[in-house]
């Protein structure tokens, strides 16, 4: 196992005018992989096995908490009216959840990207956080790996700073939720969003995390309650800002579909065929529109990175790094 625990170690550094928590593994003289995590998720979602597997392949791995989550600076605080809502009877909280979710999806069932509220930051800012980390560790170039929201950030980083990106790996992500012709989340996953939102408002954050994780899990590797009990504790202790503005940052950022053709770095698209949040057609669109990209589409896998699939994922990544 790794000699340094990712749950307790790490650094907090002012980068791009924001306090960013980050950590590194392996030899800094080796080629660097910068790993960017997804929406509402801190860096502890990257498993020990995943990081260790990449280090054992001869890479220097850097992980970090995106702004507004984990131990990085929380730029968005819970609005006063949400605190007030939490104090009301449960029946009213349920009504509020239904009312709020009625605006979350458009007529076609996709996430509504028309954002009426001003965003504190956008994906450009989040991409610049990653560039600032590379500057801080003295790396001119790195292999960029992004999962979900991290995959969106990694696309922006590659398009805006192509000279800093040696290769690109996009896991379970999208060129934009509003890309014409692409599907929205499954109906069953929408129900889990509602249940999780309600549980968070009722102060039952661990249960909310369980509901979401179960809903994201595909059929190939059934949800392991005992294992996730340990994982959820690590994630919650590291910090989850349920009031973060990351989804607003997505809505405030332009769709990338028309710019994908400008990505020239070796690119690998990894996506689960049973992804209920960002369905497989998003991964297929990325692969068709990023020149010479490679794919690894995983049967029976949802919106997740199962350790059991690392024997497929890591070799595919290493091959892409060397292209």
- E strands, the chain, are 11-15, 18-25, 32-36, 60-64, 142-147, 165-171, 267-272, 294-298
Which CATH number is 22's domain given?
3.40.50.1820
pTM listed for this prediction: 0.95
Closest CA to 66 of 146, 4, 168: 146
The pLDDT of residue 9 is 79
- The per-residue pLDDT for range 119-178, each reduced to its tens digit, is 889 999 999 999 999 999 999 999 999 999 999 999 999 999 999 999 999 999 999 999
Backbone angles phi, psi at 48, to 5 degrees: -55, -45
The span from the CA of 306 to the CA of 313, in Å, is 10
Closest CA to 126 of 257, 17, 283, 241: 17
What average pLDDT does the structure give for the chain?
Answer: 94
Strand pairing of 60-64 and 18-25?
Answer: antiparallel
The pLDDT of residue 74 is 97
The pLDDT of residue 116 is 58
DSSP structural state of residue 290? S
How many domains is the chain built from?
1
The pLDDT of residue 5 is 45
> Which helix (DSSP H) or strand (DSSP E) does residue 317 occupy?
helix 310-321
CA atoms within 13 A on the CB side of 43: 28
CA atoms within 13 A on the CB side of 313: 25
Taken in order 289, 290, 295, 299, the sign of the CA dihedral is: negative
Q: Which tokens belong to 39?
A: 């929406």
Are the CB atoms for 154 and 268 separated by under 8 Å? no
The residues of the chain scoring below 70 in pLDDT are 1-8, 115-117
The pLDDT of residue 115 is 64
Domain that holds residue 87: 1-323
Backbone angles phi, psi at 54, to 5 degrees: -70, -40
Per-residue HEC secondary structure of 34-59 comes to EEECCCCCCHHHCCHHHHHHHHHCCC
The span from the CA of 35 to the CA of 163, in Å, is 17
């Amino acid at each position: 196992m790794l000699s340094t625990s990712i749950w307790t170690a790490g650094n907090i550094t002012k980068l791009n005018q924001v306090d960013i928590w980050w950590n590194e593994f392996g030899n800094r003289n080796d080629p660097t992989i910068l790993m960017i995590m997804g929406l509402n998720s801190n860096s502890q979602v990257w498993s020990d096995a995943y990081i260790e597997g990449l280090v054992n392949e001869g890479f220097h791995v850097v992980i970090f908490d995106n702004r507004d989550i984990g131990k990085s600076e929380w730029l968005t605080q819970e609005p006063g009216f949400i605190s007030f809502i939490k104090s009301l009877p449960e029946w009213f909280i349920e009504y509020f959840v239904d009312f709020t979710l009625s605006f979350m999806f458009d007529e076609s069932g996709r996430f509504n990207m028309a954002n009426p509220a001003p965003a504190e930051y956008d994906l450009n800012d989040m991409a610049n956080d990653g560039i600032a980390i590379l500057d801080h560790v003295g790396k001119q170039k790195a292999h960029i790996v992004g999962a979900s929201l991290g995959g969106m950030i990694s696309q922006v980083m590659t398009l805006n700073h192509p000279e800093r990106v040696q290769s690109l790996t996009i896991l379970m992500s999208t060129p934009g939720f509003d890309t014409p012709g692409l599907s929205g989340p499954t109906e069953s996953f929408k129900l889990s969003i509602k249940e999780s939102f309600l549980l968070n408002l009722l102060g039952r954050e661990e249960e909310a995390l369980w509901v979401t994780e179960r809903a994201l899990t595909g059929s190939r590797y059934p949800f392991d309650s005992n294992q996730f009990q340990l994982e959820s504790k690590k994630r919650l202790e590291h910090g989850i800002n349920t009031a973060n503005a990351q989804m607003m940052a997505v809505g405030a950022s332009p769709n990338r579909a028309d710019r994908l053709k400008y990505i020239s770095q070796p690119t690998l698209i990894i996506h689960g065929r049973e992804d209920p949040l960002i369905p497989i057609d998003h991964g297929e669109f990325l692969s068709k529109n990023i020149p010479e990209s490679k794919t690894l589409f995983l049967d029976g896998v949802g919106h997740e990175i199962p350790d059991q699939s690392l024997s497929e994922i890591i070799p595919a990544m290493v091959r892409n790094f060397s292209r």
